[in-house]
Structure 1
Amino acid sequence: MNADAPVGVIGLGLMGTAVAARLIEAGHQVVGFDVDRSRCDALAAMEGNSAGSVRAVAKRCPTIVIAVYNAAQVETVLDQLEQADGGLRPLIICTTTCAPDEIIAIAAHAARAGFGFVEAPVSGTSAEAREGSATALVAGEAHAIEAATPVLTILCPKRLPVGRIGDASRTKLAINLILQINRTALAEGIAFAERLGLDPPAFLEAARQSAAYSSVMNTKGAKMLKRDFTPQSHIAQSVKDSELILREAKARDLHLPMTSVQMALLRAAIALEGPDSDSAAIIAAIDRARVKL
């Protein structure tokens, strides 16, 4: 990678904005695009460069990070990159969480188009990605990973190689299953402690020092105590990931009872707080105690 070449970022939501910020702070030019023009304006305010289309990003950037919502959007981005003038064939780093079969099809699409491709979903919230404490799960051909390493090192100093294309998504979904259940358990524990009459901050600190400790206590504990649902990660994304998890489990004749219960709570929380609220909003569903499971 040419150190002076701009890096493209397509999708400027919470994760894409965190990606752009890290690149800018590391001294890279960033050219970004999002269908929501207000997000492009926000990038410009961060001293990034806003592009008018996916193709405009491709014209300037030999490496492009895709941080859109789902696999269908990634496919649309690849279609548009193929239509870019000049026959440019960028290296793609895809951070979007997809089902394994989806990312395998996306990688095949990229190969047909002549693009380099690295699967790199991020384990962690946008706030963790912004501060550099999130972990990238990296899969792909060795030569593509090597070419992407300078950018990946900036985005996620913590990286785990997990094998072939599809394995990063498999790993991410299995991690998310545990993470989401830990988050739900924390919400239920806080609500229970409050009803018992315990001091909530003191209880959270005791939990942090106990055998029940999980890192979600650091990322979501204070937000749950304050019922602060300003998003670091959208709860709608948690639902999307849980749907992928349950679909993959069903295809393998595996019932996931805890994930199924957790999904019902997520949907109840969205009904109460909206899809763009933080994933900590799951405590709102527990507060109401009206969910029928």
Structure 2
Amino acid sequence: MSRQTRIGVAGLGLMGTALAERLAGAGFGVLGFDIAPAKCAQFRDAGGEVAASATDLAGRSRAIVIAVYDGAQVETLLGEFEQGRSRPALICTTTCAPDEIVRIAACAASTGFAFIEAPISGTSAEVRDGAATALVAGETEALNTLLAVLCPRRIRVDRIGDASRTKLAINLILQNNRAALAEGIVFAERLGLDGRAFLAAAQQSAAYSRVMDTKGEKMLSRDFRPQSHIAQTLKDAELILHEARQRGLHLAITEAQADLLRAAIALEGPERDSAAVIEAIRQRLSSEVVR
């Protein structure tokens, strides 16, 4: 695929704009679209070109990267893409329920779209740095160059739906690691330790996970400027719990972690970074001390 090819980006939130920046940095022409006029205006103010509608985006793009909130929005977009004559290849980075993405992919194929499932494990900051990992399923050969620009780190999975299954299982571990880190920091501080000295020690210990590097300092400094929105984190947690219930599984740790996310959103708002989960732990411990 030529660098002169225009690539569409549907969804201009944190992830969509990070992906658009990677494309532009590699020399691709980028055309953006979002249902929120404010996000379109921000993209335009930053020098980006904005499509008039989803149908316009499909008509003017060789391929479209989909980076919207959830599967319902992906289905809505696909319906709008179908109204035009063009059939660009679709790369869906949105985390969806496995059955949902299988249905979407089948619908796309039936109407002439090549469809790649590519949910991304990583924050928008990690996407910008090329450190995020895409989990890829579908016919990718014609778009390997484009995928390499979007995410240099990629893992090929078997069938459509398996990328989402893998992403949800990874997110289960990641989210629980994040909550454990937050609880560990608060516990260490209550023991009288310096938070940063504790974090440095933990990073050199058997407990190490990369979340310490990406979220540790944000938790310590209460820097909740978003790299990923905590509302999106909760959405994925609820997807995990739904899939577990469908299979008769009780995920006690993940249920407790989702509860913390809800409490953190009530305290800090849905647009804050997922590191804000530490505020729910701080508040609960403070409440227990008061009692």
Same fold (TM over 0.5): yes
- Determine the C-alpha separation between the residues in 2 that align with 1:232 and 1:69: 15
Shift of 1:42: 2.3
Query: Equivalents in 1 of 2:22, 2:80: separation in Å?
Result: 26
Q: Is the 8 A contact 2:3 2:29 kept in 1?
A: no
Q: Give the secondary structure class of the aligned counterpart of 1:9.
A: strand
Name the CA distance, whole Å, in 1 between partners of 2:110 and 2:5.
25
Pairing of 1:1-293 with structure 2 (within 5 A)? 1-84=1-84, 87-140=85-138, 144-289=139-284
Cα RMSD after superposing both structures: 1.2
1:262-281 CA distances to partner (integer Å, 9 max, x unpaired)? 01111000110011111001
* 1:163 alignment partner, SS class: coil
Query: Does the CA contact (< 8 Å) of 1:118 and 1:148 recur in 2?
Result: no
Give the TM-score, by structure 2 length.
0.96
1:220 partner SS:
helix
SS, match of residue 59 in structure 2: helix
Equivalent pair of 1:11/1:32 in contact (CA under 8 Å): yes
* C-alpha deviation, 1:47, in angstroms: 2.8
- AA of the residue aligned to 1:34: D
Q: Identity percentage over the alignment?
A: 63
SS for the counterpart of 2:134 is strand
SS at match of 1:253: coil
Shift of 1:3: 3.1
CA distance in 2: counterparts of 1:178 and 1:217, whole angstroms: 14
Contact 1:122 1:136 in 2 (8 A): yes
> Given residue 17 of structure 1, which amino acid in structure 2 is its aligned partner?
T
Query: Letter of the aligned partner of 1:221 in structure 2?
Result: G
Amino acid corresponding to residue 57 of structure 2 in structure 1: V
In structure 1, distance between residues paired with 2:216 and 2:198: 10
| Distance in 2, Cα, partners of 1:222 & 1:284 | 14
Q: How many residues align?
A: 287
CA contact (8 A) 1:136 1:158 kept: yes
Following the alignment from structure 2 to structure 1, what is the Cα–Cα distance between the partners of residues 145 and 63?
10
Q: Is the 8 A contact 2:102 2:161 kept in 1?
A: yes
- What do residues 168-217 of structure 1 show as CA deviations (whole Å, max 9, x unaligned)? 00000000000000000000000011111111111110000001000000
How far, CA to CA, are the matches of 2:80 and 2:27 in structure 1? Answer: 28
Residues in 2 aligned to 1:38 and 1:149: alpha-carbon distance in whole angstroms: 32
| Cα drift, residue 52 of structure 1 | 1.4
Moved over 4 A (4+): none
Question: 5+ unaligned residues in a row in structure 2: which ranges?
Answer: none
1:29–1:48 CA contact under 8 A, matched in 2: no
Are 1:8 and 1:31, in contact at CA under 8 Å, matched by a contact in 2?
Answer: yes
Q: Deviations over 1:32-54 (max 9, x none)?
A: 00112222222223332111111
CA distance in 2, matches of 1:44, 1:135: 28
Counterpart Cα distance in 1 of 2:157 and 2:45: 36
Distance 1:99 1:216 in 2: 24
Tell me how far apart the structure 1 counterparts of residues 74 and 45 of structure 2 sit (CA, whole Å): 26
Quick one: distance in 2 between partners of 1:46 and 1:275?
24
Larger deviation, residues 90-99 vs 47-56: 47-56
Helix, strand or coil at the partner of 2:219: helix
C-alpha contact 1:55 1:83 (8 A) present in aligned 2:
yes
